[in-house]
């Protein structure tokens, strides 16, 4: 018989607060058209994007995360000292080590929490949320800060007609803490590594360092293949998350998918047969695709504008490079 004492975690976990930060510079499609042969109409029809935010040199991954985190912690009604876990989902922090989560934890005054980064592309926030829930329920942390943050403008090839208009910068954060009833449902997550070439970095960092190529690495993708996968396969994953939570589309109040593309969002709504009463996040129009930051940023905007309210039941799903995905049902803070 084991001599190890059982963990003393919370019975369940919930999102207690949310915060977001968008860089001050707003970039309209006209700026993108300076380097690609296209039109505003074409960009809007293909992606639904009209503007995006690009970070200044001062708006670093850490700086944006700190701004979003401060709002999330205040919204949760706790102090930074009560944070005992920090998880940062990002693919655009250019230091291999240390994890940017450790810097953020120190600068927000969190003390000595567990702190680490997660690289799961556009599903990164969902991965972080799932890990945070496990930490709270297992008992290794009481309050976990989950941040999705990207500076994708650093990884954008402005001459690539297929992707130059897609990406934006920003940070979104939530605080996950204890709950007496289920408020974060089971996660449906996974990967399809056989499709990893459909979204990828153009060349590894070492190739650029060695001078084999002169062009800085950027994100590229096979648009049609990604579109088909997202619309058909991710709708199935979203339905599985609803089933795992024991609810139907009619029980939903809000749908917050990864803000990759307006056409993907609208197609998923149709495939899932969501009622018109369900509020759908369409933050991509003014924020662009911010990868790991897109779901918390969209969540924060819906709550701030009154399109969603505390206690609403929301389906969230992230999907992207890997290819990886994560979907769950949550109660909004």
Q: Please give the distance of CA 88 from its chain centroid, rounded to a whole number.
A: 10
| Residue found under tokens 């056409």 | 263
CA distance 262 to 215: 30
* Alpha helices, DSSP H, located in the chain: 29-32, 40-47, 61-76, 100-107, 124-138, 205-209, 223-228, 234-245, 262-272, 284-287, 294-305
| Predicted confidence band of residue 124 (pLDDT cuts 50, 70, 90) | very high
Across the chain, what does the average pLDDT equal? Answer: 96
User: Is 289 one of the catalytic residues?
Assistant: yes
Average pLDDT over every residue of 3-25: 94
Q: Is the pLDDT of residue 314 over 90?
A: yes
CA distance 63 to 51: 22
Sign of CA pseudo-dihedral 265, 270, 272, 274: positive
Q: 231 in helix, strand or coil?
A: helix
Phi/psi at 218 (nearest 5 deg)?
A: -140, 170
CA distance 166 to 75: 30
**DSSP letter, residue 161:** T
pLDDT higher at 275 or 214 = 275
Phi/psi at 201 (nearest 5 deg)?
A: -80, 140
| Predicted confidence band of residue 214 (pLDDT cuts 50, 70, 90) | confident
Q: Which residue out of 29, 143, 258, 261 is catalytically annotated?
A: 258
Q: What digits encode the pLDDT tens for the residues 75-101?
A: 999 999 999 999 999 999 999 999 999
Tokens of 86: 């920090």
Q: Where does residue 112 rank: exposed (0-12), middle (13-18), buried (19+ CB within 10 A)?
A: exposed
Give the whole-number percent of the chain exceeding pLDDT 70. Answer: 100
pLDDT higher at 217 or 106 = 106
For the chain, give the number of residues: 333
CA distance 96 to 93: 8
Q: Is the pLDDT of residue 118 over 90?
A: yes
Give the whole-number percent of the chain exceeding pLDDT 90. Answer: 91
Asked if 24 contacts 56 with a C-beta cutoff of 8 angstroms, the reply is yes
Q: Which residue out of 29, 93, 122, 143 is catalytically annotated?
A: 122
Q: Is the pLDDT of residue 2 over 90?
A: no
Which residues are CB-contacts of 295 (< 8 A; sequence separation ≥ 6)? 125, 126, 148, 172, 256, 257, 258, 259, 316, 318
Average pLDDT over every residue of 95-111: 96
Asked if 149 contacts 64 with a C-beta cutoff of 8 angstroms, the reply is yes
Q: What digits encode the pLDDT tens for the residues 23-67?
A: 999 999 999 999 999 999 999 999 999 999 999 999 999 999 999
Q: Where does residue 141 rank: exposed (0-12), middle (13-18), buried (19+ CB within 10 A)?
A: buried
* Alpha helices, DSSP H, located in 110-221: 124-138, 205-209
CA distance 254 to 280: 6
Q: First-to-last CA distance in the chain?
A: 41
**DSSP letter, residue 37:** S
| Rg of the chain (C-alpha set) | 19
Q: What digits encode the pLDDT tens for the residues 236-251?
A: 999 999 999 999 999 9
List for the chain the helix, strand, coil content (%; round to 5).
40, 25, 35
Q: 77 in helix, strand or coil?
A: coil
């Amino acid at each position: 018989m084991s001599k190890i004492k059982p963990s003393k975690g919370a019975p369940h976990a919930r999102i207690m607060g949310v915060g977001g930060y968008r860089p001050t510079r707003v970039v309209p499609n006209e700026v993108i058209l300076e380097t690609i042969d296209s039109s505003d109409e074409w960009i809007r029809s293909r992606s639904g994007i009209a503007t995006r935010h690009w970070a200044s040199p001062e708006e670093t991954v850490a700086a944006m995360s700190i701004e979003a985190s401060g709002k999330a912690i205040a919204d949760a009604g706790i102090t930074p000292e009560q944070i005992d876990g920090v998880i940062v989902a990002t693919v655009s922090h250019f230091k291999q080590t240390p994890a940017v989560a450790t810097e953020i934890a120190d600068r927000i005054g969190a003390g000595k929490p567990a702190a680490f980064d997660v690289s799961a592309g556009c599903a990164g926030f969902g991965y972080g949320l799932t890990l945070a829930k496990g930490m709270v329920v297992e008992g290794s942390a009481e309050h976990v800060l989950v941040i999705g943050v990207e500076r994708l403008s650093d990884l954008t090839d402005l001459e690539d007609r297929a992707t130059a208009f897609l990406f934006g910068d920003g940070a979104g954060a939530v605080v996950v803490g204890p709950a007496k009833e289920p408020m974060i449902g089971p996660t449906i997550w996974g990967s399809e590594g056989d499709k990893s070439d459909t979204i990828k970095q153009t060349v590894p960092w070492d190739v650029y360092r060695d001078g084999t190529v002169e062009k800085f690495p950027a994100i590229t993708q096979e648009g049609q293949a990604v579109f088909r996968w997202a619309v058909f396969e991710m709708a199935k994953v979203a339905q599985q998350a609803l089933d795992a939570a024991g609810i139907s589309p009619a029980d939903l109040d809000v749908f917050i998918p990864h803000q990759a593309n307006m056409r993907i969002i609208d197609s998923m709504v149709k495939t899932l047969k969501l009622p018109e009463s369900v509020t759908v996040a369409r933050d991509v129009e003014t924020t662009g695709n911010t990868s790991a930051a897109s779901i918390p940023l969209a969540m924060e905007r819906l709550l701030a504008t009154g399109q969603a309210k505390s206690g609403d039941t929301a389906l969230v799903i992230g999907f992207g490079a890997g290819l990886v995905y994560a979907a769950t049902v949550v109660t909004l803070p």
